[in-house]
Amino acid sequence: EPEVTQTPSHQVTQMGQEVILRCVPISNHLYFYWYRQILGQKVEFLVSFYNNEISEKSEIFDDQFSVERPDGSNFTLKIRSTKLEDSAMYFCASSVIFGGPGEQYFGPGTRLTVT
């Protein structure tokens, strides 16, 4: 069964550095998402992406964040200048349904640690 994959599984970076988290969504899916989960807190929506543009974003997704689909398979989340509070588990998800959230398939997550 196809799965969403994410790399790396764990990323450690220093405050102020740029990080890029990578995701390979399921191949026939059209919608892509990033969520994050700070330790001990709920999973929070960051951004959704369709047809090479952001379709929706949360207030967390400020100018420090950007997303890109650089080729036909990868979907990336970039944090330009990391802060301590960006430390979290970042989940990528994808879905095929049009017109609503539908069923989203999640990747295993990337744990980002900012020191």
Partner 1 sequence: AQRVTQPEKLLSVFKGAPVELKCNYSYSGSPELFWYVQYSRQRLQLLLRHISRESIKGFTADLNKGETSFHLKKPFAQEEDSAMYYCALGASGTYKYIFGTGTRLKVLA
Least Cα distance to 32 among 74, 73, 93 occurs for 93
Min separation Cβ 29 and partner 1, Å: 12
Q: For binding to partner 1 (CB under 8 A), which residues are involved?
A: 3-4, 31, 33, 35, 41-45, 48, 50, 55-56, 58, 91, 95, 100-109
State which residue, 4 or 67, has the beta carbon closest to partner 1. 4
Alpha carbon 41 to chain centroid, angstroms: 17
CB 17 within 8 A of CB 81: yes
- In one-letter notation, the amino acid at residue 37 is Q
Q: Minimum distance from CB of 72 to partner 1 (Å)? A: 21
